[in-house]
């Protein structure tokens, strides 16, 4: 407990996301604004799903633990579906805004491309989702206490932090794939994103059997990352050239603005 656990878990959970933010988003005010707007959309989806869950709890039998757990599972599934719906809504909104801007400015390129928007909005969703999942837990970890004193898992904080990191990165990958799929009208890809989100959330029902939930989540995250990389225009060749820094002109020349 206390400071070391707090800082350790905070950096595990938010480290990659904050690094991404600082290096790619912080300098561009437009991207920051769209990130915040994305976070806001996620928040609204959470609000709606909590509303539905709350109503269902009120009309249910509060003494039955099994029923409450069932309702919670229902809440989780509903929340995932609502999140994806709001992602789609955000996509539609951004498309409209971009078209409007393009029409007004009579220029070839838009100030921010739809791919950048996909990345930024995915990260926005991820930030908010991660923050809501883990902030209260982190606040608790600063204080005194013994983890798992009643027989629960001792790795509660650490596993929460790792799960949060995976979720944030996953949201970003989902955002990229989702927007790309919507752009190219590939609805099967959209469905795949929704299903993978559901799978990840349902895997957490196994907690505290962390092996069963964390390992598959990370596998899914890796796969989604590769998919997002390819849908964003990456390829093995690009990767090799980028890593070996051979031919910058080639990389620049191949960059097609969207």
Partner 1 sequence: GEAMNTSDSDDDFYNERTALVPSENPVVDANVKCSCDAECRPLLVQPGASRRSGPACVDSGGSDQEVDADDEELTLKYGAKHVIMLFIPVTLCMVVVVATIKSVSFYTEKTDQQLIYTPFTENTPSVGLRLLNSVLNTIIMISVIVVMTIFLVVLYKYRCYKFIHGWLILSSLMLLFWFSFMYLGEVFKTYNLAVDYPTVGVIIWNFGAVGMICIHWKGPLQLQQAYLILISALMALVFIKYLPEWSAWVILGAISVYDLVAVLSPKGPLRMLVETAQERNEPIFPALIYSSAMVWTVGMASPVDAQRSEYETGPPLHNSCFLHRIMGNEGWTEYQEHLYDQKQLIEDMPEALMWGVKLGLGDFIFYSVLVGKAAATASQNLHLCMCEVLCPTIHLCLTCLYLSQALPALPISITFGLVFYFSTDFLVQPFMDNLAAHQFYI
Which residues are at the interface with partner 1 (CB under 8 A)? Answer: 29-30, 32-33, 36-37, 39-40, 43, 46-47, 49-51, 53-54, 57, 68-69, 72-73, 75-76, 79-80, 83, 97, 101, 104-107, 111, 129, 131-133, 135-137, 139, 156, 159-160, 163-164, 167, 200-201, 204-205, 207-208
Instruction: Assess contact for 107 and 165: CB atoms under 8 A.
Output: no
Instruction: Assess contact for 171 and 38: CB atoms under 8 A.
Output: no
> Which residue number, 136 or 254, has a Cβ lying nearer to partner 1?
136
> Which residue number, 68 or 238, has a Cβ lying nearer to partner 1?
68
> Which residue number, 175 or 180, has a Cβ lying nearer to partner 1?
175
Distance (Å, rounded) from C-alpha 174 to C-alpha 190? 9
> Which residue number, 153 or 238, has a Cβ lying nearer to partner 1?
153
Closest separation between CB of residue 247 and partner 1, Å?
31
> Which residue number, 53 or 230, has a Cβ lying nearer to partner 1?
53
DSSP H or E run through 94:
helix 65-105
Residue 7's SS3 state is helix
DSSP 195-244: HHHHHHHHHGGGTT-HHHHHHHHHHHHHHHHHHHHHHTT--HHHHHHHHH
Distance (Å, rounded) from C-alpha 178 to C-alpha 171? 10
> Token digits for 8?
């350790």
Closest separation between CB of residue 135 and partner 1, Å?
5
> Which residue number, 137 or 189, has a Cβ lying nearer to partner 1?
137
Closest separation between CB of residue 96 and partner 1, Å?
12
Distance (Å, rounded) from C-alpha 149 to C-alpha 190? 43
Distance (Å, rounded) from C-alpha 250 to C-alpha 114? 23
Closest separation between CB of residue 13 and partner 1, Å?
12
């Amino acid at each position: 407990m206390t400071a070391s656990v707090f800082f350790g878990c905070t950096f595990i959970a938010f480290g990659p996301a904050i690094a991404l933010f600082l290096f790619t988003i912080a300098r561009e005010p437009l991207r920051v604004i769209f990130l915040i707007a994305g976070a806001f959309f996620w928040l609204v989806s959470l609000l709606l799903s909590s509303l539905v869950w709350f109503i269902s709890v009120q009309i249910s039998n509060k003494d039955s633990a099994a029923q409450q757990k069932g309702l919670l599972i229902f809440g989780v599934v509903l929340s995932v579906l609502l999140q994806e719906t709001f992602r789609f809504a955000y996509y539609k909104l951004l498309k409209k805004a971009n078209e409007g801007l393009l029409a007004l400015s009579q220029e070839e390129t838009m100030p921010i491309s739809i791919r950048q928007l996909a990345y930024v909005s995915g990260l926005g969703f991820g930030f908010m989702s991660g923050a809501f999942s883990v902030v209260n837990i982190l606040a608790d970890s600063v204080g005194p206490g013994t983890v798992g004193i009643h027989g629960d898992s001792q790795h509660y904080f650490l596993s929460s932090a790792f799960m949060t990191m995976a979720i944030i990165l996953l949201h970003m990958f989902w955002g990229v794939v989702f927007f790309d799929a919507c752009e190219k009208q590939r609805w099967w890809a959209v469905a795949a994103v929704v299903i993978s989100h559901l799978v990840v959330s349902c895997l957490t029902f196994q907690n505290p059997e962390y092996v069963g939930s964390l390992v598959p989540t990370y596998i899914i995250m890796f796969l989604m990352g590769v998919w997002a990389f390819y849908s964003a225009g990456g390829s093995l060749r690009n990767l090799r050239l980028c890593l070996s820094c051979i031919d910058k002109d080639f990389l620049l020349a191949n960059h097609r603005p969207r």
